[in-house]
Amino acid sequence: MELYGWIQLALFVGILWAMTKPMGNYLVAVLDAQGKTFLDPAVKPVERFLYRACRIEPQQEQTWKGYALSLGLFSVVGMLFTYAVLRLQQYLPLNPQHLAGIAPDLAFNTAVSFTTNTNWQSYGGESAMSCFSQMVALTFHNFTSAAAGIAVAAVLVRGLARATAQTLGNFWVDMVRVTLYLLVPFCLVFALFLVSQGVVQNLNAYTKLTSVETLSGEADATPQAIPQGPIASQEAIKMLGTNGGGFLNANSSHPFENPNPLTNFIQMLSIFLVPSGLTYYLGRMVKNQRHGWTVWAAMLALFLLGVLACWSFESAGNPRITAWGVADDGNMEGRKSVSGFSIQPCSLL
C-alpha cells in the first residue's frame, strides 16, 4: 500500500473514533422513549401523530416474546407488500421504461432478501425495476430493515442492562423513533450531499444516445440507454443502513452512485457510523464505558485484519493478467504498461 493509502486508513479510523461518542450519545436519546433530541421541535408532533394513528401506547413495554412477535409480524407484512409491488410493477406509476412485472420467484427472493437486510439482488436494477419499485418497495425496506436491526441491537443491550426486568422496550416505539430521529433526517442530509457531488436523482426516462462506434459504422444502430432515477436517495439509506446492492446493482462501484473519492470516503464512514455508535450506546446502558470501547476495539481489529488481508491479495497481482504481460510485480507503487497504455494499481481505500 502506498503512503497515501496508509494516511487514508489512519484518517478513516481517526474520524470514525471521533464520531463514535457523539453518535452513541444520540442513539441513547433516540432509543429512550423519553429521550430528547435537537430534532424534537420538528419531529415530536409527527411521532405523536403516528402513535395516535397506529394506536401505539409509547409507555407500554413488551416482553421478549411480544417484541419478537411484533418484529415477525411487521417483517411478514412488509415482505408481502414488497412482493405485491414487484409483481404488479407494470400497472403502477413511475415506470417510464414500461418495465414488466417481476417473475414470481425473483419477486419472492428479492422481497425476502430486502426484508432481512440481506439485499441480495439477482437482477439488473436499471433493466428490471421501475422508479416506483425502487422507491416504494426497495428503499422502503432499506429503511425498515435497518430500523429493525437497530431495534434488535437495542433489545440485546437492554437485556444485558436489565438483568432482572421482564420487559425490553416497545418494538413499535423503537421503529418509529429510529426512523424519524435517525434514518430519515440523516439520509435527507446525506442524499443532498450526494446530489451536490453529481449523484443522479430524478424520475426521468432513460437517456438514449448514439455512440461514436455506431456513427462510424463499427457497431449496430441500437442506441445506448443511460439509466436515470432516484439514485441518491436510495444510496443514502443503503449506506447508512448497511444495506447492499443499490439502484444499479453495482454496490456503489458505479459512478452514478459514487462519483469521486470524497463520496467514496463519506460512504465508507456512513456504513460504520451506526454500528460504531452502538458500541458506545452499549457502554452507556450497562454503565461501563470500558466495555463499550472494548467491543469497539475488537470490531476495529477484525476490520483492520480484513483490510490488510485484502491489500495483501490485491498487491500480489492477478495471475491471469500476469499471463498477458500487464500485471504489476507486487509493488503497489509500480507501474506497468503494454501497447502504449499505462496501468496504475489503485490503493485499497
Q: Model confidence over 193-204: pLDDT tens digits?
A: 999 999 999 999
Amino acid in the structure at residue 343: I
The rounded distance, in Å, linking the Cα atoms of 135 and 130 is: 9
CB 245 within 8 A of CB 120: yes
Tell me: pLDDT of 206 over 60.
yes
Q: What is the pLDDT of residue 164?
A: 81
Pair type for strands 341-343 and 224-226: unpaired
Cβ-based neighbours of 146, under 8 Å, separated by 6 or more: 117, 183, 237, 240, 241, 242, 243, 274
Strands (E) across 240-344 are located at 336-338, 341-343
The Cα–Cα gap between 125 and 176 comes to: 29
For helices 3-31 and 140-161, what crossing angle results, to 10°?
70
Phi-psi group of 340: left, alpha or beta (phi > 0 → left; psi -120 to 50 → alpha; rest → beta): left
CA angle, 280 then 239 then 282, to 5°? 15
Res 70 pLDDT > 70: yes
Contact 336, 343 (CB under 8 A): yes
Identify whether the C-beta of residue 163 lies closer than 8 Å to the C-beta of residue 111: no
Percent of the chain whose predicted confidence (pLDDT) is above 90: 69
In sequence order, the β-bridge partners of residue 343 are 336
Rounded CA separation 51/37 (Å): 18
Q: What is the mean pLDDT of residues 140-157?
A: 95
The domain limits of the chain are 32-210+223-259
The kind and range of the H/E element at 297 are helix 289-315
If you average pLDDT over residues 131-145, what whole number do you get?
Answer: 93
Which tens digits make up the pLDDT trace of 224-236?
Answer: 888 899 999 999 9
* pLDDT recorded at residue 220: 65
The answer to whether 207 and 226 are in contact (CB under 8 A) is yes
- SS3 letters for 33-54? CCCCCCCHHHHHHHHHHHHHHH
Question: What confidence tier does 215 reach under pLDDT thresholds 50, 70, 90?
Answer: low
Cβ atoms 243, 194 nearer than 8 A:
no
Q: CA–CA separation, 218 vs 338, rounded Å? A: 24
Q: What per-residue confidence (pLDDT) applies to 3?
A: 85
C-alpha cell at 138: 426497495
Name 336's bridge partners.
343
pLDDT of residue 120: 87
pLDDT digits (tens, 9 = 90+) for 238-295: 999 988 878 988 888 899 999 999 999 999 999 999 999 999 999 999 999 999 999 9
- pLDDT greater than 80 at residue 332: no
Range of lowest pLDDT (124-133, 149-158, 324-333, 340-349):
340-349
- In the predicted model, is pLDDT for residue 24 greater than 50? yes
Q: How far apart are CA 121 and CA 250, in angstroms?
A: 10
> What is residue 121's predicted lDDT score, i.e. its pLDDT?
87
Enumerate residues 6+ apart whose C-beta is below 8 A from 99: 89, 90, 127, 128, 129, 130
Cell of 143: 429503511
Q: Are strands 224-226 and 336-338 parallel, antiparallel or unpaired?
A: unpaired
- Contact at 8 Å (CB) between 122 and 151? no
Length of the chain: 349
